[in-house]
Structure formats: C-alpha cells, structure tokens
Amino acid sequence: MNLSIVIPVYNEIATIGEILNRVRSVPQDKEIVVIDDGSTDGTTQRLKEMTVTEDVKVIYHSRNKGKGAALRTGFQHVTGDIVIIQDADLEYDPGEYATLIGPILDGRADVVYGSRFLGGPHRVLFFWHYVGNRFLTILSNMFTNLNLTDMETGFKAFRASLLEKIVIKSNRFGFEPEITAKFAKLKCRMYEVPISYSGRGYEEGKKITWKDGAAALFHVIRFRLFN
C-alpha cells in the first residue's frame, strides 16, 4: 500500500529540513504532502528552496489558519491508500511508520493511534501537560465508548478511504477530539501502538498552551453531542 504523509507546518524553520529528510528516508512507497500554514519565520522560503523533488508536494496558506485547517487542506491532495499525520517538530519519529501502520497492513485495523503512554521511550517534560492529556482522553473515551490511552497524539494513521466519510470542521487543535469522535461514530476498527516521543519545551518552539487544552475540552463535548 502507498502512504500519504501529511505534514502541517507553522514556523518550523529549525526542523523542517530534518523532518523531510527523515520522512524521505523511510523505505516505503509514499507521497509527502506539506502544508505551510502561513509561516512567518522563514519556513516558507526554506520550503521553496528545498522541495524541488517529485516526492514532495507543498501547499501554502497565505495566512495562519491552524493545524486542523492545514490538515483539511492536506487531505484534499492525498492519493495514497494510508494517510499518516506527521508533525514537523521532530517529536514523532518517521522511523516508526512500520509499527504505526502494521495493524492496517495485516487487516486488523482501519485506524491506528501512536500512543505516548504505552511504554515507549519518551522525554520527561511537563507534568500538567500529562495530566491534561489523560483527562481529555478519559473524557473523550466516556463520550465515544473507546478505551484509548492517548487521544491527543499527533501520530495517527488511517485508511484514506475514510476521508470520503468524514468532514473535518476544526481549524486548530480541536482536530484530535473531532476526528476521534467521527472515527468512533463510523465504528472503525481502532488500534493503538506504543511509540517513542521526543517532546520539546516552549523555548524549543512548542506551541500548544492551556488555551488549546480548554478548547479541546469544548470540542470533545461538541462533536459528541452536537455533531
């Protein structure tokens, strides 16, 4: 099966070159779809300088719209059988694609989440981020009747055919609870696999804040009760 790697990018000039190199080096037939979400730090120019190969497609937003909006744009351009969401900040390792898509390739799953909480190596960072992630996952599970350990993971894979059945509305980080609720509503076969996680601090460019966590709480309820 061919892979479509969708990479939303916003102000990642320090990592965009390395993440593209790592994704390109994965020994799998694939296309790479990059969405530059209105970067202002030089990322846009860097992408224009380096992405001259046929395996990388770059779409540019004229202004910042948010991760969900960037992914929505990227999904419109995929042609592969399996879609993988890959953040551009090096927190998730493209070298683990085989683990992530394994349950899909062997016919067990339609959707696979890479969980940061199933025992893989991870950088030790923020306690309250951990608490917030677990709280949002538990709340999401209550509404979806799933037993995920990491709903908020940014490392997800799913059959591309599911995009024909899902309309994404979230523009920012509400994407994670929204797509989880919609996968659950479709009764997709969902798996989790342990992954490594190289988290970064705010001084290294991390963008998500407590406001995004509060918004995610709203979206967990919104997409279960009103959509």
Q: Output the pTM of the full model.
A: 0.86
Residue 202 pLDDT level (bands cut at 50, 70, 90): very low
Burial 34-63 (b: 16+ CB within 10 A, else e): bbbbbbeeebbebbeeebeeeebbbeebee
Return the percentage of the chain with pLDDT > 70, whole number. Answer: 82
What value does the mean pLDDT take over residues 89-102? 95
Q: How many CA atoms lie within 13 A of 137 on its CB side?
A: 17
Residue 19 pLDDT level (bands cut at 50, 70, 90): very high
Domain locations along the chain: 3-125+152-166+183-202
- Determine the CATH number of domain 3-125+152-166+183-202: 3.90.550.10
Residue 2: predicted pLDDT: 93
Beta partners for residue 59, in sequence order: 35
Judged against a pLDDT cut of 80, whether residue 90 lies above it is answered with: yes
Residue 59: predicted pLDDT: 96
Q: Any idea which of 18-32, 43-57, 67-81, 102-116 has the lowest mean pLDDT?
A: 43-57
Judged against a pLDDT cut of 60, whether residue 201 lies above it is answered with: no
**Pair 140, 180: CB distance under 8 Å:** yes
Tell me which H or E stretch contains 29.
none
What value does the mean pLDDT take over residues 60-67? 95
